[in-house]
């Protein structure tokens, strides 16, 4: 977890994110929580969204500068949530789409309803939500030259399983869609100086208890395939996300998918 020293370093390194409105979805735990905390350290105006209301409240109860919203991006009316966020007239300049769910079952063993639920949560909901926020940002840019010059930045949290099968095809295909959506958006939104990138994490230790027999076994199994011989942690992804959000550090980077995996994707780890 980030330390007090990290907060000062983050604020200095990412000064260009100070006072900019940011939204992080799936922000109650794991990667989303780590990204939201880094953005708060940088002085961004953060809105943390997650359907887990109780965990959201517990994690951000001391962060009075952070607005929390308990909502589900899988619902059909998610564009209305986007409208609520910008009702005060201030657009969202930094967007992190982190929601990701999976269900058990292979290609022939998963019901249509379960497949649809995964696509709704992982791809269609974030698509609709982000589209509305981008529409509002572009409208605001037309009125404000300074905002137009600053542009915006969007980061999608995808997965190595956008390329490598996991045995959960609905998840894998939805994440492949997320990675391609980032590229398509990057191409379309570049004239508006809105950069769009993705991060595909490897094995990130997000389990509440890493010492269960199941987690220990997974740890021993996965380390054989990770060249760096250690797992990743949510803050490893968060620091990469901060770089991609910052114009100072990656202002000429768009349409890319950064693998944060300790070299895992270099191995034949699916067999």
Residue numbers annotated as active site: 171
Whether the CA torsion 167, 168, 174, 179 is positive or negative: it is negative
Q: Are 183 and 256 in contact (CB under 8 A)?
A: no
Output DSSP code: residue 16: G
Q: To which H or E segment does residue 152 belong?
A: strand 152-157
**CA–CA dist 77, 151 (Å, integer):** 27
Give the gyration radius of the chain's Cα atoms: 18
Angle CA 73–137–131, to nearest 5: 35
Q: Are 51 and 26 in contact (CB under 8 A)?
A: no
Output DSSP code: residue 255: S
CA distances from 37 to 33, 80, 148, 166 (A): 6, 25, 27, 29
**CA–CA dist 78, 92 (Å, integer):** 15
φ, ψ (nearest 5 deg) of residue 158: -95, -135
Alpha helices in 99-197 (DSSP H): 112-119, 125-143, 145-150, 169-189
């Amino acid at each position: 977890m980030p330390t007090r020293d990290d907060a000062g370093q983050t604020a200095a390194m990412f000064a260009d994110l100070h006072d900019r409105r940011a939204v992080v979805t799936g922000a109650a735990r794991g990667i989303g929580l780590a990204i939201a905390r880094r953005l708060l350290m940088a002085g961004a105006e953060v809105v943390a969204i997650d359907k887990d209301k109780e965990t959201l409240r517990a994690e951000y109860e001391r962060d009075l500068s952070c607005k929390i919203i308990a909502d589900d991006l899988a619902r059909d009316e998610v564009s209305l949530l986007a409208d609520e966020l910008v009702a005060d007239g201030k657009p969202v300049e930094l967007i992190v789409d982190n929601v990701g769910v999976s269900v058990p079952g292979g290609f022939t063993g998963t019901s249509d309803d379960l497949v649809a639920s995964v696509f709704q949560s992982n791809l269609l909901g974030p698509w609709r939500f982000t589209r509305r926020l981008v529409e509002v940002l572009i409208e605001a840019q037309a009125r404000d030259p300074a905002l137009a010059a600053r542009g915006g930045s969007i980061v999608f949290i995808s997965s190595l399983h956008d390329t490598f099968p996991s045995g959960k095809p609905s998840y894998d295909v939805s994440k492949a869609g997320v990675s391609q959506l980032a590229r398509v958006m990057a191409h379309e939104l570049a004239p508006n100086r809105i950069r769009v990138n993705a991060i595909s994490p490897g094995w990130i230790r997000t389990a509440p208890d890493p010492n269960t027999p199941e987690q220990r076994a997974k740890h021993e199994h996965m380390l054989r395939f990770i060249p760096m011989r250690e797992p990743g942690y949510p803050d490893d992804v968060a620091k990469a996300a901060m770089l991609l959000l910052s114009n100072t550090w990656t202002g000429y980077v768009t349409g890319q998918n950064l693998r944060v995996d300790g070299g895992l994707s270099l191995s034949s780890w699916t067999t």
